[in-house]
């Protein structure tokens, strides 16, 4: 039995993780999890699984949950996520939170010697260098759940990183891939939320439409696979069947293919080093590839520049994007304003190299607060 913690249990990745665990009750024991603000989903989770510690989003719900589930220890908020990370039982710490709130719990879980399964790419975007230092210092493992990175991880199993020529991560192009930049001026939130291939949370679906998601993934790949940015490429592949390719120095290319089902990369991380029994076969059809269009998707180009510059700049880009996507989801700004806000924040920022975790978290909070305040009032 593998012990697991699950942050973001009520989100898209969290629920799919629970699906796998429910199908394999003898393989996993859930020690702790964090819930969201949908009480129907929360109660369904608590009635099906039996964690020892649960973090709620808001303090106001603590007493009612505690009285309904007296056998569980309840905690709440950001401190609740830290309570899970520091809980004195080892286990695989699955971070399926969306956004920058995922960073600090990962840091604390590493310090408490928990292996990390990471769906929260923001952790590596904001603090990849520090996280890599920490996993060495504390001797823990870091497993990616993001589908492209899981594909690359699988392709690289048994290979030496020294033999890699370059990595390619594929991009479906998101909800607006067939629209020109001119067309983007009048797109709606409702259309932005319709991803052609994947069923995912709102934030990442919008990030896929702006291609910011691929930008964050390039930075994530840089930190996971220790390659310079010149050796990490992206390609448009509308079917999302091939998730990642590795070109080796002997001219061999290896790729990983599967249907667009997040339960596959989640299972791989959950069962590693074994493979899961999970049936969702791929039927091969015509596959299409197009070179990435950096003029059509300027945020991806920006992400490469920001990744190369490093320091606090990736945090600034990520924070501005997170705030902008929140504003777009609330109907406060247009789709193209997301790009504008991210570019402005990055261009105005005085970068600083070798930031501490505290610098990173403070900068993230300041940038987000400033942007939300500025546009919320309009
Ligand atoms: Mg991905």
- What one-character-per-residue DSSP string does 228-291 give? -GGGEEEEE-TT--EEEEEEETTS-EEEEE--S-THHHHHHHHHTTS------PPPP-----EE
Is the confidence at residue 377, as pLDDT, over 90? no
Whole-prediction pTM: 0.97
Long-range contacts at 129-132 (CB < 8 A, ≥ 24 apart)? 129/223, 129/310, 130/356, 130/357, 130/360, 131/106, 131/107, 131/223, 132/223, 132/226
pLDDT per residue over 2-26, tens digit each? 999 999 999 999 999 999 999 999 9
The rounded Å distance from CA 109 to ligand 1 centre is 23
The rounded Å distance from CA 268 to ligand 1 centre is 15
pLDDT in the model for residue 75: 98
Across residues 106-118, what is the average pLDDT? 98
CA dist 294 and 171 (Å) reads 12
The sign of the CA dihedral 245, 134, 368, 102 is positive
The rounded Å distance from CA 63 to ligand 1 centre is 37
Is the confidence at residue 194, as pLDDT, over 90? no
Q: What is the DSSP letter of 181?
A: T
Averaged confidence pLDDT in the chain: 96
pLDDT in the model for residue 376: 86
pLDDT in the model for residue 237: 97
- Pick from 128-132, 190-194, 335-339, 343-347: least confident: 190-194
Is the confidence at residue 112, as pLDDT, over 80? yes
Domain ranges of the chain: 2-144, 146-260+277-309, 310-378
SS3 category, 170: strand
CATH superfamily of 2-144: NAD(P)-binding Rossmann-like Domain (3.40.50.720)
**Phi then psi for 118, rounded to 5 degrees?**
-110, 110
pLDDT in the model for residue 310: 98
The sign of the CA dihedral 314, 320, 322, 325 is negative
Nearest alpha-carbon partner for 100 in 274, 265, 216, 229 = 216
The rounded Å distance from CA 147 to ligand 1 centre is 5
The rounded Å distance from CA 377 to ligand 1 centre is 33
Q: How far is CA 86 from its chain centroid?
A: 21
The rounded Å distance from CA 57 to ligand 1 centre is 26
Using CA atoms, how far residue 292 sits from 211, 266, 371, in Å, is 10, 27, 29
The rounded Å distance from CA 278 to ligand 1 centre is 20
pLDDT in the model for residue 337: 97
pLDDT per residue over 290-327, tens digit each? 999 999 999 999 999 999 999 999 999 999 999 999 99
CA dist 50 and 70 (Å) reads 12
Torsion of CA 347, 351, 357, 358, to 10 degrees: -90
Is the confidence at residue 29, as pLDDT, over 80? yes
The rounded Å distance from CA 208 to ligand 1 centre is 9
Work out the pLDDT band at 200, boundaries 50, 70, 90.
confident
The rounded Å distance from CA 121 to ligand 1 centre is 9
CA dist 350 and 29 (Å) reads 46
Say if CB 235 and CB 358 are below 8 A apart: no
Pairing of strands 53-56, 28-34: parallel
pLDDT per residue over 55-108, tens digit each? 999 999 999 999 999 999 999 999 999 999 999 999 999 999 999 999 999 999
- Pick from 188-192, 348-352, 360-364: least confident: 188-192
- Provide CB contacts within 8 A for 246, sequence distance 6+: 152, 155, 156, 159, 164, 166, 167, 168, 253, 254, 255
pLDDT in the model for residue 199: 73
The rounded Å distance from CA 131 to ligand 1 centre is 20
CA dist 18 and 13 (Å) reads 9
Say if CB 209 and CB 192 are below 8 A apart: yes
Q: Reply yes or no on domain 310-378 having CATH 1.10.10.10.
A: no
Work out the pLDDT band at 335, boundaries 50, 70, 90.
very high
Using CA atoms, how far residue 348 sits from 122, 295, 317, 351, 373, in Å, is 21, 22, 11, 9, 17
pLDDT per residue over 124-174, tens digit each? 999 999 999 999 999 999 999 999 999 999 999 999 999 999 999 999 999
The rounded Å distance from CA 187 to ligand 1 centre is 23
Percent of the chain clearing pLDDT 90 (strictly above): 97
- Packing angle between helix 103-111 and helix 122-138, nearest 10 degrees? 10
Tokens of 276: 């899961």
2-144 and 310-378 agree in CATH topology: no
Work out the pLDDT band at 336, boundaries 50, 70, 90.
very high
**Phi then psi for 88, rounded to 5 degrees?**
-80, 50
Say if CB 100 and CB 312 are below 8 A apart: no
């Amino acid at each position: 039995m593998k012990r697991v913690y699950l942050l973001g249990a009520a989100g898209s990745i969290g629920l799919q993780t629970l699906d796998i665990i429910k199908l394999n009750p003898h393989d996993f024991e859930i020690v702790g999890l964090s819930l969201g603000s949908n009480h129907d989903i929360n109660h369904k989770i608590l009635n099906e699984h039996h964690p020892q510690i649960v973090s709620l989003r808001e303090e106001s719900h603590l007493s009612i949950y505690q009285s309904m589930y007296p056998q569980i220890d309840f905690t709440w908020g950001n401190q609740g996520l830290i309570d899970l990370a520091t809980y004195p039982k080892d286990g695989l710490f699955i971070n399926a939170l969306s956004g920058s709130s995922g960073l600090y719990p990962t840091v604390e879980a590493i310090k408490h010697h928990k292996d990390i399964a990471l769906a929260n790419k923001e952790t590596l975007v904001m603090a990849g260098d520090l996280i890599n230092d920490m996993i060495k210092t504390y001797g823990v493992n870091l497993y990616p759940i993001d589908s492209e990175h899981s594909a690359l991880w699988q392709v690289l199993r048994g290979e030496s990183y020294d033999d890699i020529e370059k990595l390619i991560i594929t991009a479906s192009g998101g909800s607006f891939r067939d629209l020109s930049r001119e067309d983007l001026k009048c797109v709606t939130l409702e259309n932005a939320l319709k991803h052609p291939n994947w069923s995912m949370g709102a934030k990442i679906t919008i990030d896929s439409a702006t291609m910011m998601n691929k930008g964050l993934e390039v930075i994530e790949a840089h930190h996971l696979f220790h390659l310079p940015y010149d050796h990490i490429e992206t390609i448009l592949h509308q079917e999302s069947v091939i998730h990642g390719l590795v070109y080796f120095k002997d001219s061999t290319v290896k790729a990983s293919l599967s249907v667009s089902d997040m339960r596959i990369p989640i299972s791989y991380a959950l069962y590693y080093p074994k493979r899961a029994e999970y049936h969702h076969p791929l039927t091969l059809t015509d596959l299409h590839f197009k070179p990435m269009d950096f003029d059509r998707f300027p945020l991806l180009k920006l992400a490469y520049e920001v990744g190369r510059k490093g320091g606090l700049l990736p945090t600034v880009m990520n924070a501005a994007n997170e705030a902008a996507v929140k504003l777009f989801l609330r109907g406060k700004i247009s789709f193209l304003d997301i790009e504008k806000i991210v570019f402005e924040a990055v261009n105005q920022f005085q970068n600083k190299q070798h930031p501490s975790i505290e610098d990173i978290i403070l900068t993230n909070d300041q940038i987000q607060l400033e942007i939300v305040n500025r546009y919320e009032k309009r």
